[in-house]
């Protein structure tokens, strides 16, 4: 899969200055950076973004969400550092931030403060909640999953369980990027910048809309996923005769039902008028499923998947995240971007999940070292080499 030249990228010429950490804010910047924007990550000296040092489940955050960015490491509590930062902001098209409510205003870097420097700025603020009764609360992906019912829907009854990835943080960053792109388009028409805001709680509530509407339409509350009443008779994980050989299979249309019956040798069912329609099969699920489970349990996993693929049925082996490094489709379709670790080893990470005009968006800039672009940016802003050296010696900036 080809990748466009930098000058031909959709957001070439757009400069973004980001004050972000963890996942939500960096995801927004990642999308904009992959699409060609120059994204400059402002980091505090001397240690930089705390996300760089996370361990455990957070150990992959930094590498995943910070490719194609530049690092500007500066002490904004110093007079020289703040002056340099304001010069940088005067050149920006977009500013993004995801710190606690009021933090940027205290620094004089809230929307009004930055607007005074760059009147047509687009300022994206990513918070736990949009304005309202909860707006000053501290939120995490976990918190809003519990508040909106996502954790309830994921776990068994009485055992709420957060989703196995940072779904709201990532999706919140995506919505933030969408709002930034819309604001950029509107600025092109009006010449005006604006303040845009994204809420993690509202993001999770949006995910729950389908379950809210299920209650509205049927009168019955949605049950958690492990005990739900499926909309289809066959839509489950099945054991095969192969050790560790689980396969998910879904049959979600009347046409697929006929294909399934033919593929797995249930000729009587495919000719049974009482099973011809989806809702009939759902009502007969208790009779259908034991026979299907027994048939699939007698078969090799590879054979089951081959039959499903030939019949055009939705299916998947049950995989772990690390299996994606070797996934045939991701590798052969060019869906993985290469990154270099601190020790020089190269690894792959999934690209943005779309293409434009047959092109994907990969790595142009490696994940930056702390301050790796400080000198370059200061020079561009008009500081001479001696001044930059003095700043660095005083600890005002860090250059790598």
Mean pLDDT across the chain, nearest whole number?
95
Contact 37, 370 (CB under 8 A): no
- What average pLDDT score do residues 51-69 get? 95
Per-residue model confidence (pLDDT) at position 274 = 96
DSSP string, 296-318: HHTS-HHHHHHHHHHHT--EEE-
Q: Which domains does the chain have, with CATH numbers?
A: 6-207+355-398 (3.40.50.10540), 230-321 (3.30.1540.10)
Per-residue model confidence (pLDDT) at position 164 = 94
| 129-138: b (≥16 Cβ within 10 Å) or e | beeeeeeeee
Query: E strands of 150-272, at which residues?
Result: 194-199, 235-238, 247-250
278 burial class (0-12, 13-18, 19+ CB within 10 angstroms)?
middle
pTM to 2 decimals? 0.93
Residue 237 Cα distances to 232, 245, 292, angstroms: 13, 10, 11
DSSP state of 339: E
pLDDT digits (tens, 9 = 90+) for 76-115: 999 999 999 999 999 999 999 999 999 999 999 999 999 9
pLDDT digits (tens, 9 = 90+) for 144-176: 999 999 999 999 999 999 999 999 999 999 999
A 10 A CB-CB count for 230 gives: 13
Our CA dihedral for 357, 351, 91, 178, rounded to 10 degrees, sits at 70
309, two tokens: 């693929």
pLDDT-derived band of residue 22, with 50, 70 and 90 as boundaries?
very high
Q: Is the pLDDT of residue 1 over 60?
A: no
Per-residue model confidence (pLDDT) at position 359 = 93
- What average pLDDT score do residues 125-135 get? 97
Per-residue model confidence (pLDDT) at position 342 = 84
Work out the percent of the chain whose per-residue pLDDT is above 90: 94
pLDDT-derived band of residue 4, with 50, 70 and 90 as boundaries?
low
Beta bridge partners of 347: 339
């Amino acid at each position: 899969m080809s990748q466009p030249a930098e000058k031909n990228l959709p957001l070439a010429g757009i400069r973004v200055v980001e004050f972000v950490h963890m996942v939500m804010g960096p995801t927004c910047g990642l999308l904009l950076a992959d699409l060609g924007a120059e994204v400059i990550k402002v980091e505090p000296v001397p240690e930089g973004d705390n996300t760089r040092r996370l361990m455990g489940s957070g150990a992959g955050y930094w590498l995943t969400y910070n490719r194609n960015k530049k690092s500007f490491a500066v002490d904004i509590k110093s007079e020289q550092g703040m002056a340099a930062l304001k010069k940088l902001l005067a050149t920006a098209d977009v500013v993004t931030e995801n710190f606690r409510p009021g933090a940027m205003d205290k620094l004089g870097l809230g929307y009004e403060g930055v607007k005074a420097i760059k009147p047509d700025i687009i300022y994206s603020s990513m918070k736990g909640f949009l304005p309202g009764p909860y707006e000053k609360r501290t939120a995490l992906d976990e918190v809003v999953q519990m508040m909106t019912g996502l954790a309830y829907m994921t776990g068994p009854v009485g055992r709420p369980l957060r989703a196995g990835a940072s779904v709201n943080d990532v999706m919140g960053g995506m919505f933030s990027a969408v709002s930034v792109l819309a604001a950029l388009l509107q600025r092109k028409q009006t010449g005006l910048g604006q303040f845009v805001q994204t809420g993690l709680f509202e993001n999770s509530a949006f995910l729950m809309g389908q379950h809210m509407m299920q209650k509205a339409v049927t009168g019955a509350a949605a049950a958690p996923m492990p005990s739900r009443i499926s909309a289809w008779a066959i839509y489950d994980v099945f054991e095969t005769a192969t050790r560790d050989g689980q396969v998910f299979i879904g049959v979600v249309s009347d046409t697929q039902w006929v294909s399934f019956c033919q593929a797995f040798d249930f000729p009587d069912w495919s000719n049974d008028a009482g099973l011809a329609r989806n809702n009939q099969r759902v009502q007969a699920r208790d009779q259908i499923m034991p026979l299907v489970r027994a048939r699939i349990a007698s078969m090799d996993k590879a054979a089951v998947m081959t039959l499903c693929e030939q019949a055009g049925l939705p299916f998947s082996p049950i995989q772990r995240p690390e299996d994606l490094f070797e996934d045939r489709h991701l590798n052969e379709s060019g869906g993985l971007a290469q990154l270099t670790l601190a020790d020089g080893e190269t690894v792959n990470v999934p690209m943005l999940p779309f293409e434009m005009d047959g092109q994907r968006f990969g790595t142009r800039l490696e994940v930056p070292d702390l301050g790796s672009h400080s000198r370059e940016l200061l020079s561009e802003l008009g500081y001479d080499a001696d001044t930059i050296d003095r700043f660095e010696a005083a600890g005002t900036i860090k250059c790598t």
